[in-house]
Amino acid sequence: MIFQPLGKRVLVQRLEEATTTASGIIIPDNAKEKPSQGTVISVSTEVENVATGDVVVFGKYAGNELTIDGKSYLVIETDDLFGILKK
């Protein structure tokens, strides 16, 4: 089952907080909005600056959750993506 985002949206699979602490972004424990990260699974045809496979960083409360074939995802507007993380 494939989810094709509409508008300026991408489908993202959130990376676990535990993983990020070990190797990459560490979310500081304070009152500010804490960014999260995830892998882009699919993008709308209207999206140009992000591609499938990109690891994106976004605000903790960005997007809407949905579950496809038992897996959890986020649908996020590209304006809510802070940037792409490259190794």
Among 13, 16, 19, 83, binds a copy of itself (CB under 8 A): 83
Pull the structure tokens for residue 63.
């997007």
* Complete DSSP assignment for 9-61: EEEEEEPPHHHHHHHS-----SSSPPEEEEEEEEE-TT--S--TT-EEEEETT
- Site mask, a copy of itself, residues 33-72, x = CB under 8 A? xxx--------xxx--xx-----xx-x----xxxxxxx-x
Q: Contact, 42 vs 86, CB < 8 A? A: no
Counting contacts by CB under 8 A, is residue 30 touching a copy of itself?
yes
Contacts with a copy of itself by CB under 8 A lie at: 1-7, 9, 11, 24-28, 30, 32-35, 44-46, 49-50, 56-57, 59, 64-70, 72, 75, 78-79, 81-87
